Amino acid sequence: MPTAATDPAWRRPRPRRRWLDATTILVDFALVTFDVDPGRLAAVLPTGLVPEVRTLDDGRERGFVSAVSFRDVDFRFALAPVVRRSFFQTNYRAYVRGPAGGRAVHFFGTTLDSVWSVIPRRVWGMPWHRGRTSIEATWAGGRCMTYRHRCEPGWGGADVDLTGTDEPLRRLDGFVDLDDAALVLTHPLDGFFARSDGRLGRYSVWHERLRPTIGAAQRARYEVFERLGLVASGQEPHSVLLQPSVEFDVLLPPVVA
């Protein structure tokens, strides 16, 4: 497998957008990661996916899951660029190795505060759910001063309070160096999901390398991870990363893996 320094994900050029590809600005971007028991994580992954396992500084082998919350701004498809929408979204994902051994994420599901959530669910069988959401964040000079995320109880209920620092991303516990942590946690471009018909779906995104700063959690409760038995109530996150905004391309439609 390529190392963090040589992994081709760093050098993947921005694809030419096709008619169904989407572009959006992710504003108030927060990536809250938990280290989890790799055996429990493996048990809830679809066949063909295995957890990305790392050894923490205390010697424990752990897998990783993240909740990624943000506000989509000016979400639009290439075929209709003048039609733009904005909404709150949270993705629940695990860091995995795919069927061919490459780094990827598995999406347990997504909450979207919009009636649009029905489109990916019905058209492509993606595990998207409607969730009434609020994200209130304040920033000063690129530093996140306050970050409050709430989603109504249900499939993706969340109760989260974060604060930021001026400290840029560094080596995180369990990773070799800064590049290794960034490549695994902030730069997975390929994603898998369990389709509603039982088959494994796959799609890709593209974005520039993220430049987040380190944050901290006063509260980080996510019903999805607790219901799966991966994260205990009150468990402290492995890491919190925050960034004011980043542009994403979503390459559509998904395909059967």
- The 10s digit of each residue's pLDDT in 94-103 is 999 999 999 9
What's the pLDDT score for residue 3? 61
Mean pLDDT of the residues in the chain: 95
Q: Structure pTM?
A: 0.96
Which tokens hold the place of 30? 């927060």
Mean pLDDT of 53-76: 97
pLDDT for residue 6 is more than 90: no
Please, which pLDDT band fits residue 4 given cuts at 50, 70 and 90?
Answer: low
Please, which pLDDT band fits residue 109 given cuts at 50, 70 and 90?
Answer: very high
At 205, which amino acid appears?
Answer: V
217 DSSP β-pair partners: 162
pLDDT for residue 63 is more than 60: yes
What's the pLDDT score for residue 163? 98
What's the pLDDT score for residue 7? 74
The answer to whether 213 and 170 have CB atoms below 8 angstroms apart is: no
Compute the half-sphere exposure of residue 111: CA atoms within 13 Å on the CB side of its CA. 26
**What span, in angstroms and rounded, lies between the C-alpha atoms of 48 and 66?**
20
pLDDT digits (tens, 9 = 90+) for 23-51: 999 999 999 999 999 999 999 999 999 99
Cα Dmax for the chain: 52
Length of the chain, in residues? 257
Please, which pLDDT band fits residue 10 given cuts at 50, 70 and 90?
Answer: confident
pLDDT digits (tens, 9 = 90+) for 150-186: 999 999 999 999 999 999 999 999 999 999 999 999 9
pLDDT for residue 149 is more than 90: yes
What's the pLDDT score for residue 78? 93
What's the pLDDT score for residue 17? 87
Residue ranges and CATH numbers for the domains of the chain are 18-256 (2.40.400.10)
What's the pLDDT score for residue 9? 78
Placement of tokens 């039982």 in the chain: 198
